[in-house]
Amino acid sequence: MSPLDKGIPQLRGQDGEGSVQVQLDTADQIEGAKVFAVYGKGGIGKSTTSSNLSAAFSKMGKRVLQIGCDPKHDSTFTLTGRLIPTVIDILKEVDFHPEELRAEDFVFEGYGGVKCVEAGGPPAGTGCGGYVVGQTVKLLKQHHLLEDTDVVIFDVLGDVVCGGFAAPLQHADRALIVTANDFDSIYAMNRIIAAVEAKSSNYKVRLAGCVANRSKDTNEVDRYCETVGFNRLAHLPDLDAIRRSRLKKKTLFEMDLDDDIAAVQAEYIRLAQTLWAGTDPLAPKSLPDREIFDLLGFD
């Protein structure tokens, strides 16, 4: 048996015990708002999904805060129409003295009144993304920016390979996974399910379901979900209109209306309504690697 086939470790004790992971300070917990963490394979469309979901929540009259957790800080650019400064960049300017910052230094308003924050990240190969997420939430709380917020969306980079990547799960009520109808995306989804399983032993986070993105069909996604006890909440096909919206630095709700745009707008509104109403706290069991290969038809 390969070591990778043994499943996730059984974690005991406090989060971060016996590793370099950082336990969440209870003073930094986000209260009052519904918090969602969006995960998925790199390049799968998490930022597109997050931004349009934020816009959909705003259409419902909700006060939304989106936090981009990627060093390339492009999570919110379709909401703001530009790349905004990151929290780390702003902190560097004041020699990491957060008391010198004003809210308007790192929070920017985007489409539909969505508040936009880009956490940024440490230089390549140094530091930890978990630290960056933690500092961002602390700043937001210090400036009372979470008190008038109904929905917080963390847009998290790539696959979950360490505690830093998983840090937003410490704050989230539900994790949402963006996938596609292919092996690599489903493999990444399986690892994210394992990460949520690990974090849920110490935190309130549970899985909401997945979004099939950039996919004509959903048969492979649905087969995986049926096997592990997971749910597909939405399906967004591979439409050129979605690609064009990114090039125009706009959300889908700002694009000229045609049948395709109307359909994806409706799907995002439906997804936002589903999440706001509340989803069952799913706890699927991730599959060992070999079982995913067998499930998806590899010889």
Active site members: 41, 46, 72, 159
Q: Is 204 annotated as a binding residue?
A: no
Q: Is 214 annotated as a binding residue?
A: yes
Q: Is 162 annotated as a binding residue?
A: yes
Q: Is 247 annotated as a binding residue?
A: no
Q: Is 155 annotated as a binding residue?
A: no
Residue whose tokens read 């590899």? 298
Cβ-Cβ contacts under 8 Å for 174 (sequence gap 6 or more): 34, 35, 36, 37, 205, 206, 207, 208, 275, 279, 281
Reading phi first (left if > 0) and then psi (alpha if -120 to 50, else beta), residue 127 is in: left
Tell me which DSSP letter residue 288 carries: P
Q: Is 72 annotated as a binding residue?
A: yes
Q: Is 250 annotated as a binding residue?
A: no
Distance CA 234, CA 231 (A): 9
Pairing mode, strands 108-109 and 115-118: antiparallel
Q: Is 199 annotated as a binding residue?
A: no
Task: For the beta carbon of residue 179, count every other beta carbon within 10 angstroms.
Answer: 30
Q: Is 44 annotated as a binding residue?
A: yes
Annotated binding site: 43-48, 72, 128, 162, 213-214, 237-239
Annotated binding site for Mg(2+): 47
Annotated binding site for ATP: 43-48, 72, 213-214, 237-239
